[in-house]
């Protein structure tokens, strides 16, 4: 009888700890889901300023995963300046644009804050918005960022309303590409439903730590 009771208590305790661990995992590993609250984060940009997603509630937030040595990023930020032009088109409106670099610090090319800052301010790039450093990759993994660039749009209430590519021009061959991010931001500003809420991102794979 005692043996059965002890065994029963052991199983119960084990299940309780398993449930606690499961609950902890759900809390610690929040993930982005369209239509749900975008995962909160707090990151410093390469100039040392801290940015929290919750600080921008009431505004539409664009998140752009980036990497300063990715040729696809170079195409969009230097050659075609898709990002800068899209950002500029919403100047004076309730839109915040943040780039996030989740590249691991020990990648072969370095990726120090100084390197990213130098690239951000270099001729031909001159990014007019902050580049946040996600060195351990926690934020990138929470959002499921796969490529550079990988774009996300968060509405004024903090819900994720778009995830995917900047446009439908992965090879740069189209003259009149559809800018998915611009359309998503326009819809979010108007308080309407984003027609194309999810697309396949394209670019270089994110080089995560670990």
Q: How far apart are CA 190 and CA 99, in angstroms?
A: 23
Mean pLDDT of 94-111: 86
Helices marked H in the chain — which ranges?
2-28, 71-74, 82-89, 113-120, 138-143, 180-190
CB 113 within 8 A of CB 46: yes
Superfamily name and number for 31-205: Glutaredoxin (3.40.30.10)
Q: How far apart are CA 196 and CA 185, in angstroms?
A: 11
Q: What is the pLDDT of residues 173-186, one digit of tens each?
A: 998 999 999 999 99
Helix, strand or coil, per DSSP, at residue 117: helix
Q: How far apart are CA 79 and CA 74, in angstroms?
A: 7
Q: What is the pLDDT of residues 74-97, one digit of tens each?
A: 999 999 999 999 999 999 999 999
Q: What is the pLDDT of residues 180-207, one digit of tens each?
A: 999 999 999 999 999 999 999 999 999 9
pLDDT at 3: 43
pLDDT, averaged across the chain: 87
Residue spans of the domains in the chain: they are 1-30, 31-205
Q: How far apart are the first and last CA of the chain?
A: 49
CB 168 within 8 A of CB 177: yes
Q: How far apart are CA 11 and CA 5, in angstroms?
A: 10
Q: pLDDT at residue 28 above 50?
A: no
**pLDDT above 90 as % of the chain:** 79
Name the DSSP class of 60.
Answer: E
pLDDT at 107: 66
Helix, strand or coil, per DSSP, at residue 140: helix
Which two three-digit tokens encode residue 42? 């707090």
pLDDT band at 110 (very low <50, low <70, confident <90, very high): low
Please list the residues that pair with 198 across neighbouring strands. Answer: 163
Q: How far apart are CA 95 and CA 188, in angstroms?
A: 10
């Amino acid at each position: 009888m005692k043996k059965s009771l002890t065994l029963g208590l052991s199983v119960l305790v084990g299940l309780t700890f398993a449930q606690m661990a499961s609950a902890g995992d759900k809390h610690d590993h929040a993930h982005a889901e369209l239509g749900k609250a975008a995962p909160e984060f707090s990151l410093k940009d390469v100039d040392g300023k801290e940015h929290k997603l919750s600080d921008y509630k009431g505004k539409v937030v664009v998140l752009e995963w980036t990497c300063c040595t990715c040729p696809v990023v170079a195409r969009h930020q230097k050659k075609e300046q898709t990002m800068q032009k899209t950002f500029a088109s919403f100047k004076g409106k309730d839109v915040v644009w943040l780039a996030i670099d989740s590249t691991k610090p020990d990648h072969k090319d370095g990726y120090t804050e100084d390197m990213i800052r130098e690239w951000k301010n270099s001729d031909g790039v001159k990014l007019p918005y902050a580049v946040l450093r996600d060195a351990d990759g926690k934020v990138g993994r929470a959002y499921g960022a796969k490529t550079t660039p990988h774009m996300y749009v968060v509405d004024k209430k903090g819900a994720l309303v778009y995830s995917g590519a900047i446009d439908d021009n992965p090879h740069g061959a189209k003259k009149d590409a559809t800018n998915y991010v611009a359309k998503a931001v326009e819809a979010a500003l108007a308080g309407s439903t984003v027609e194309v809420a999810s697309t396949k991102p394209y670019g270089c794979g994110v080089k995560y730590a670990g």
